[in-house]
Amino acid sequence: MPRTVTRTVIGASCAFLLAGTLFVLPAPSLAGDPIVSADEIAYQLAPKRGLAITAAQPTSVNLPTVTFEFNSFRLTSFAEKQLDEVGKALNMPAFQDSKFVIAGHTDAVGNDGYNQRLSQQRAESVVDYLVARQGLARSRLSAVGWGESRLLPGASPDSAANRRVEVLNIGKGQ
């Protein structure tokens, strides 16, 4: 049976109900903290409008805040803070049976083959971190590198916005 999400805006906050658990998202930080919270990640990965999640129709969240050292797949300390929030979200009871694809993306600067390899290595680095530091089962995660093949619509091909990690919820038992 499809799970449903109810989202209600309360002032500057947002509340949603997922699998019987109420989540309340606080108002945006006045300090401009760019870390995406575990609750917001959970909201983005939850089914929309009562639809079941499948590999053909996943839900996803883009995380340009998962950054790497220059020309490397080594995570920055800032990325680790963001991935701690990702881990909290993926460990929530509502997602305990879900599987996820961790996708690495690059911009269009440089050689296609190099960008493809780097994006795969970055996705694998994220999976390794989530398994080692957040206790997620490796069997629930798969890494894929999309290189520069899936640039963000409307963004310049060389835009930093294209250098991102995406988490896709592909549902149960995929």
pLDDT the model gives residue 25:
41
pLDDT of 16 > 70? The answer is: no
pLDDT of 36 > 80? The answer is: yes
The domains of the chain are located at: 36-172
Span 98-116, average pLDDT: 91
pLDDT of 46 > 70? The answer is: yes
Residue 13: which residues within 8 A CB-CB, separation 6 or more?
Answer: 24, 25, 26, 27
Torsion angles phi and psi, residue 43, rounded to 5 = -60, -45
Q: Which option is the CATH number for 36-172: 3.30.70.3420, 3.30.1330.60, 3.30.10.20, 3.50.80.10?
A: 3.30.1330.60
Model-level pTM? Answer: 0.77
Number of Cβ within 10 Å of residue 139's Cβ equals 8
pLDDT the model gives residue 19:
47
* Res. 33 pLDDT band, cuts 50 70 90: low
Lowest mean pLDDT segment, chosen from 19-23, 113-117, 125-129, 169-173: 19-23
Cα–Cα distance measured from residue 126 to residue 103, given in angstroms and rounded to the nearest whole number: 9
In this structure, the strands spanning 98-104 and 141-145 are: parallel
Give CA separation, 38 vs 89, 90, 162, in Å: 5, 8, 22
Span 101-107, average pLDDT: 91
CA-CA-CA-CA dihedral for 112, 116, 118, 123, to nearest 10: 150
pLDDT the model gives residue 81:
96
* Res. 48 pLDDT band, cuts 50 70 90: confident
Give 114-150 pLDDT, tens digit per residue. Answer: 999 999 999 999 999 999 999 999 999 999 999 888 8
